[in-house]
């Protein structure tokens, strides 16, 4: 046995001294050194390009070019290397001809992590070139697998990647982790916020995760105070999703669906979903509310602050001041009246007041503001101003993620009242406030 081992070692030593083997070993070490020195895929591509004399590109699993070496710079700037699908069912680190290039897939554990290609439109690649391509791909696979494991370990300290997207302010670190974990930051995603309206026995995050898994979608999920945030790129039947979550939680969950943004802008979508849930008056009785379906509410949620303030001040500022000074409910009365399309009976029932009391309040509103409640143009702008005022209250009120879950299911937004004028700005007088009001006739139910 000792003689056999000694012979094998001697044979191996003789083999390693062969010029061809030494060349292979040297090249392999160069690839490893390029990756190990922190140059990663860029270093590997550069070494391969130098040895083969052919242009080299490295692609991610989706086919996007992430590294190019030896490609004409002018052509590069014209985006000459668009996304291109990778070969199907290719073995790990085995070169295959794919159109005008030789491609080797890096899939060390069966999952495609990337690929390296030699651009060979002239079909001049030799066996040595292909062998070098396969060597480079082997090292690239190790490098990408190492990066992914490292990213997963780093992200584990945050809890999960979705949490990092919401809480990490270091954009470069988030992008690096996204690339290593295979998440496309530029692909549009939505945040779906599930918020209990009453205490539930289950962890909402676990419920959301189970529902998403049953629907067979790719997702990220994280806890968010009392609720959970689901992040998805696919367009789903949101009612179905919400019903499934609510059903599993005994009907004690409301779901807000944010707008579509790049994954790196996820906070905006979460803000949209929270805003939708904070409009109980506008979405009363709805267990699933999509920001995209909020109509004018959606527009009012993205105004210039001064424009919003001026709109409110001009049309209903007098009522805000009057209600604050007299502890009255004229603004609430006006909003209800407008929402009932001027129907006195329905408005009185909604406010739990007598029709005569309602008539008096409407006359008082007309006297204070000077607006004609029978004028369609005035009614439109008054309604818009009332909604802008409510939006301002919602945006200034505590986030649902910081509220007691019961607070989100009440009958109206909480928060500070919107001032009728900006600090330091001259007050805008309401039309007709200083003149005797005209007699007005209100619509009858």
Residues 371 and 238 in one domain: no
Domain assignment present for residue 418? The answer is no
In a domain, 428, yes or no: no
pLDDT: is 229 or 10 the higher one? 229
Residue 161 domain flag: no
Q: What is the pLDDT of residues 373-398, one digit of tens each?
A: 998 888 888 988 888 888 777 777 66
What is the distance of C-alpha 239 from the center of its chain?
A: 19
pLDDT at 279 over 70: yes
Of the candidates 289, 343, 334, 341, the one whose C-alpha atom is nearest the C-alpha of residue 315 is 334
pLDDT tier at 42 (50, 70, 90 boundaries)?
confident
Examine the domain organization and report whether 322 and 245 are in the same domain: no
Distance CA 102, CA 117 (A): 5
| DSSP-assigned letter for residue 92 | B
Residue 250 lies in a domain: yes
Question: 281 and 388 share a domain?
Answer: no
The pLDDT, as a whole number, for residue 19 is 60
Q: Are residues 64 and 23 in the same domain?
A: yes
Pair 294, 282: CB distance under 8 Å:
yes
**In this structure, are 256 and 395 located in the same domain?**
no
Cα 16 from chain centroid?
54
Same domain, 289 and 320: no
Out of 269, 294, 319, a domain closes at 294
- Assess if residue 169 is contained within a domain: no
Count CA atoms closer than 13 A to 297's CA, side-chain side.
22
What domain range is 15 assigned to? 2-153
Domain presence at residue 167: no
110-114, 341-345, 414-418: least confident range: 414-418
* Boundary (domain end) residue, out of 294, 329, 363: 294
Give the mean model confidence (pLDDT) for residues 321-329. Answer: 93
Helix (H) or strand (E) holding 6: helix 2-16
Same domain, 194 and 239: yes
Each residue's pLDDT tens digit, 429-444: 343 433 333 333 333 2
**Does the structure show a pLDDT above 80 at 327?**
yes
Reply yes or no on whether the pLDDT at 82 is more than 60. no
Q: How far apart are CA 60 and CA 83, in angstroms?
A: 9
Cβ atoms of 193 and 229 within 8 Å: the answer is: yes
In this predicted structure, the answer to whether residue 291 has a pLDDT above a threshold of 60 is: yes
Q: Which residue has the higher pLDDT, 201 or 108?
A: 108
Same domain, 127 and 62: yes
Q: Is residue 93 part of a domain?
A: yes
pLDDT at 136 over 70: yes
Q: What CATH number is given to the structural domain containing 321?
A: 1.10.10.2840
Share of the chain above pLDDT 70, in %: 74
Q: How confident is the model at residue 351 (pLDDT cuts 50, 70, 90)?
A: very high
Buried b (16+ CB within 10 A) or exposed e, 253-282: bbbbbbbbbebbbbeebbbbbbbbbbbbeb
What does the buried/exposed string (b/e) look like for 393-431 if buried means 16 or more CB atoms within 10 Å of the residue's CB?
bbbebeebbebebeebeeeebeeeebbbbeeeeeeeebe
- Domain shared by 37 and 73, yes or no: yes
**Band of the pLDDT at 299, cuts 50, 70, 90?**
low
Query: In the chain, how many domains are there?
Result: 3
* Residues 33 and 111 reside in one and the same domain: yes
Q: Are residues 342 and 248 in the same domain?
A: no
| Residue 303: per-residue pLDDT | 57
Say whether pLDDT at 145 is over 50.
yes
Q: What CATH number is associated with residue 24?
A: 3.30.450.40
Q: Using one digit for the tens of pLDDT, what is the confidence trace for 96-122?
A: 998 889 999 999 888 888 999 999 988
Mean pLDDT value of segment 364-373: 92
The token pair that represents 423 in the structure block: 């600090």
Distance spanning both ends of the chain, measured CA to CA:
107
Q: Is the model's pLDDT at 424 over the cut of 60?
A: no
Residue 430 lies in a domain: no
Look-up: residue for tokens 């818009």? 384
Alpha helices in 168-265 (DSSP H): 171-181, 204-215, 238-248
Asked if residue 29 and residue 146 are part of one domain, the reply reads yes
């Amino acid at each position: 046995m000792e003689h056999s081992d000694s012979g094998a070692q001697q044979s191996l030593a003789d083999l390693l001294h062969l010029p061809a083997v030494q060349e292979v070993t040297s090249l392999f070490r160069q690839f490893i050194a390029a990756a190990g020195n922190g140059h990663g895929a860029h270093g590997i591509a550069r070494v391969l390009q130098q040895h083969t004399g052919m242009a080299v590109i490295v692609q991610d699993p989706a086919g996007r070019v992430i590294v190019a070496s030896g490609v004409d710079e002018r052509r590069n700037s014209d985006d000459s290397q668009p996304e291109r699908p990778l070969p199907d069912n290719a073995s790990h680190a085995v070169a295959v001809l794919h159109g005008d290039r030789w491609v080797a897939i890096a899939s060390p554990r069966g999952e495609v992590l990337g690929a390296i290609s030699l651009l060979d439109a002239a079909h001049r690649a030799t066996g040595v070139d292909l062998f070098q391509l396969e060597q480079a791909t082997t090292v690239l696979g190790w490098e990408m697998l190492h990066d992914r494991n490292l990213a997963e370990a780093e992200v584990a300290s945050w809890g999960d990647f979705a949490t990092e997207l919401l809480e990490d302010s270091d954009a470069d670190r988030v992008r690096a982790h996204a690339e290593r974990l295979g998440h496309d930051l530029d692909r549009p995603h939505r945040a779906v916020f599930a918020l209990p309206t009453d205490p539930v026995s289950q962890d909402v995050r676990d419920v959301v995760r189970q529902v998403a898994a049953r629907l067979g979608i790719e997702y990220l999920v994280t806890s968010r105070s009392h609720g959970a945030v689901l992040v998805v790129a696919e367009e789903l039947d949101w009612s179905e999703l919400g019903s499934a979550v609510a059903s599993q939680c005994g009907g004690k969950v409301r779901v807000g669906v944010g707008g579509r943004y790049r994954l790196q802008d996820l906070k905006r979508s979460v803000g949209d979903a929270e805003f939708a849930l904070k409009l109980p008056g506008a979405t009363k009785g709805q267990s699933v509310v999509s920001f995209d379906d909020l109509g004018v509410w959606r527009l009012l949620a993205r105004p210039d602050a001064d424009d919003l303030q001026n709109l409110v001040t001009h049309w209903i500022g007098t009522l805000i001041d009057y209600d604050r000074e007299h502890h009255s409910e004229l603004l609430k009365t006006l909003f209800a009246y407008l929402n009932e399309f001027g129907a006195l009976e329905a408005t009185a029932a909604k406010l739990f007041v007598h029709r005569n009391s309602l008539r008096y309040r409407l006359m008082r509103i007309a006297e204070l503001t000077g607006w004609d409640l029978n004028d369609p143009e005035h009614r439109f702008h008054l309604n818009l101003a009332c909604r802008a005022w409510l939006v301002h209250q919602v945006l200034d009120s505590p986030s649902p993620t910081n509220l007691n879950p019961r607070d989100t299911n009440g009958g109206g937004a909480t928060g500070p009242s919107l001032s009728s004028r900006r600090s330091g700005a001259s007050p805008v007088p309401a039309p007709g406030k200083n003149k005797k009001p005209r007699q007005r006739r209100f619509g009858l139910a």
